[in-house]
Amino acid sequence: MSDNTVQPVQVTVSELKPRMRGLTVIFKVVSITEPHEVTSRDDGATHRVADAKVGDSSGTVIIPLWDDSIGRFQVGSVYKLENGYTKLFMNNIRLNIGRDGVVNPSDDKIPEVNMEQDVSSVAYPQRPRRRYRGQRTERDRGYRADSRGEEKSDSGQRGKSPPADQDDSDIDDEGEQ
């Protein structure tokens, strides 16, 4: 039987990489943006969100703060996050607290935060998405069914897409042979 628990690892801000889990990070809050409202795609509920820029002597990162957690942080204070994780948001790293994460004030001292090394400003490439059964392939890209069930190319012309067993290499971009 495999154990799916993640071993905790203590890291500095500059060591953060995408998709890390079980993180322990000690950080100082540098700034917090004004909260704004967003609507959940899951249940349609409205939430308040603010971004906290936090850091240590190695660099800075953004932590999204949701709802009640916004008021728990004070600029200039030092905190310890246990069981945090990183995630990409718009191709940039965010350090997340999550439902299993625990944040408490820390007695550690961070006299100066390295503002030059902002790990949230590094753009990472998107991971390729998985293909699931029923998704279009490279071969049928550019064709879709219209409301009458006929296939229509993205150029707007109606017609038939090449049969799956036919080699379409002799068909040009206009659908002509």
Q: How far apart are CA 25 and CA 157, in angstroms?
A: 57
Q: How far apart are CA 25 and CA 34, in angstroms?
A: 24
pLDDT, averaged across the chain: 81
Give the pLDDT of residue 117: 96
What homologous superfamily does CATH list for 9-37+45-121? Nucleic acid-binding proteins (2.40.50.140)
Give the pLDDT of residue 146: 47
Q: Residue 24 forms beta bridges with which residues? A: 10, 82
Give the pLDDT of residue 67: 92
pTM, rounded to two decimals: 0.68
Q: What is the pLDDT of residues 128-177, one digit of tens each?
A: 767 666 655 555 555 454 445 554 444 454 444 445 554 444 444 454 45
Identify which has the larger pLDDT, 58 or 160. Answer: 58
Q: What is the mean pLDDT of residues 54-65?
A: 97
Q: Sorting pLDDT into bands at 50, 70 and 90, what band is 1?
A: very low
Contact 22, 86 (CB under 8 A): no
Return the percentage of the chain with pLDDT > 70, whole number: 70
Give the pLDDT of residue 4: 62
Q: Residue 102 forms beta bridges with which residues? A: 82
Return the percentage of the chain with pLDDT > 90, whole number: 58
Token pair of 140 as six digits: 């049928």
Q: What is the mean pLDDT of residues 112-138?
A: 80
